[in-house]
Amino acid sequence: MSNGVNGKEPHMVIENIDLAFGGTKAITDISFTVYKGEICAVIGPNGAGKSSMLNVINGVYIPQQGSITFEGKKFAKMKPHSAATMGIGRTFQNIALFSGMSVVENIMTGRNLMMKSTFIENALGIGRSKKEEILHREACEEIIEFLGLQSIRKTPVSSLSYGLQKRVELGRALAAEPKMLLLDEPIAGMNIEEKLDMACFIQEINRNRGTTIVLIEHDMGVVMDVSDHVVVMDYGAKIGDGTPEEVMSNQKVIDAYLGVSHDD
């Protein structure tokens, strides 16, 4: 584990983000900082605006106000494409795999951003086409091995179980070699074994590759175990920010999220 919130370089600074859909305010004036190399968990009850927050970070939603500073560069709005080129990877809450492709094709698609060969080179099989394909396949195979997907690499993703699909989606995000990974409920709906596997993968990615991770999760046990930094949201506003211990003892958080205590 890294040494928490203090004494670290900020990787991404989110300032005063406001997001509304028509008259409905999804996010109100949220600011927080994600530090380099940490695992930052965003928690909060359903409808608190967590997924919207991730969508703002990688440009799927455009906020009405506020700014995002990623690696020192300040943006009023992000575009999904430029977020990807800058090194922000992402998985989705509802699996968003390319259902018509196999596992290895899905993961290779994650690296398409790095492939420079044009469609003419690809069509004729000349120039960079073949070399790139082999080179990136090697990189993808490393990910497949890391995630233990060897036996199903040629299987169409639509025939895989939910847990495996989530794993493939993580692989696809990882294939782009992101500097920051946004994971939207990576372990929701899994059985205990799959959960533990996934938690291990997330920690290993964080430690071995130094990838900064922002994750949304409902499983408090996992959140408190893996994360260095927790941001709590409720009704679109931030109500807590700090280390897991700090957040757990924050009265507002206890009231809003973990429930008001009745014991005295």
Partner 1 sequence: MYYRETGQTVKNYTEDRRMVPLREDRWIMWAFLAVLFIGVPMFANDYVLSAIFIPMMVLGIAALGLNIAVGYTGQLSLGTAGFMCFGAFTAFNLLFRVEWMNVWLAFLMSGVVAGLVGIIFGLPSLRIKGFYLLVSTLCAQFFAEWFFNAYPWFLNNSTSGVAALPPFHYRFLPYQEQIFDLFGWDKDYNAYIWRYFIALITTVLLALACKNMVRSSTGRNWMAVRDMDIAANVIGISVGKTKINAFFVSCFYCGIAGAMYSYCYIGNLDFMIFNLRRSFLIMFMVILGGLGSILGSFLGAIFVYGWPILLTRTADAVFGGGTLDTAFIENNSKIIVGTFIVVLLIYQPMGFAGLWNSVKHKLRIWPFKT
Residues of the shown chain interacting with partner 1 in the complex, contacts defined by CB under 8 A: 58, 60, 80-81, 83-85, 89-90, 92, 96-101, 105, 108-110, 112-113, 115, 117, 119, 122-125, 129-130, 132-134, 137-138, 141, 172-173, 176
Smallest distance, partner 1 to C-beta of residue 228, A: 25
Q: How does strand 10-21 pair with strand 24-35?
A: antiparallel
Cβ contacts of 137 within 8 Å, gap of 6 or more = 104, 108
Would you give the distance in Å from CA 100 to the centre of its chain?
A: 23
- Whichever of 2 and 155 has its CB closer to partner 1, that residue is 155
For residue 242, the surrounding DSSP H or E stretch is strand 237-242
> CA 101, 193, 233: angle at the middle one, nearest 5?
85
Q: For residue 150, give the DSSP letter.
A: G
Smallest distance, partner 1 to C-beta of residue 239, A: 28
Would you give the distance in Å from CA 50 to the centre of its chain?
A: 12
- Whichever of 99 and 191 has its CB closer to partner 1, that residue is 99
- Whichever of 184 and 217 has its CB closer to partner 1, that residue is 184
- Whichever of 77 and 137 has its CB closer to partner 1, that residue is 137
- Whichever of 41 and 173 has its CB closer to partner 1, that residue is 173
Smallest distance, partner 1 to C-beta of residue 109, A: 5
Q: For residue 76, give the DSSP letter.
A: S
Smallest distance, partner 1 to C-beta of residue 72, A: 21
Smallest distance, partner 1 to C-beta of residue 134, A: 5
Smallest distance, partner 1 to C-beta of residue 119, A: 4
**Angstrom distance (rounded) from CA 49 to CA 227:** 19
Q: Are the C-beta atoms of residues 133 and 68 closer than 8 Å to each other?
A: no
Cβ contacts of 239 within 8 Å, gap of 6 or more = 44, 232, 233, 250, 252, 253, 256, 257
- Whichever of 110 and 244 has its CB closer to partner 1, that residue is 110
Q: How many CB atoms lie within 10 A of CB 161?
A: 11
